[in-house]
Amino acid sequence: MTEHLTENPKNFVFPKEEKLKSKKLFEQLFTEGKSITTFPVKLLYTNADFDDDVHIKVGVVAPKKKFRNAIKRNRVKRLLREGYRLNKHLVFNNIEGNFAFLFLYLGGKMPNYQEVDRAIKQLLETFLKKQSHEKIDQ
Q: Is residue 3 part of a domain?
A: no
pLDDT over 90, % of the chain: 78
Q: Report the 10 Å Cβ neighbour count for 68.
A: 9
pTM equals: 0.89
Task: List, for residues 54-72, the tens digit of each pLDDT value.
Answer: 999 999 999 999 999 999 9
Sheet with 41-47: list strands edge to edge.
34-38, 41-47, 99-105, 56-61
CATH of the domain at 106: 3.30.230.10
**Over the chain, what is the mean pLDDT?**
90
Q: Is residue 7 part of a domain?
A: no
- Tally of structural domains, the chain: 1
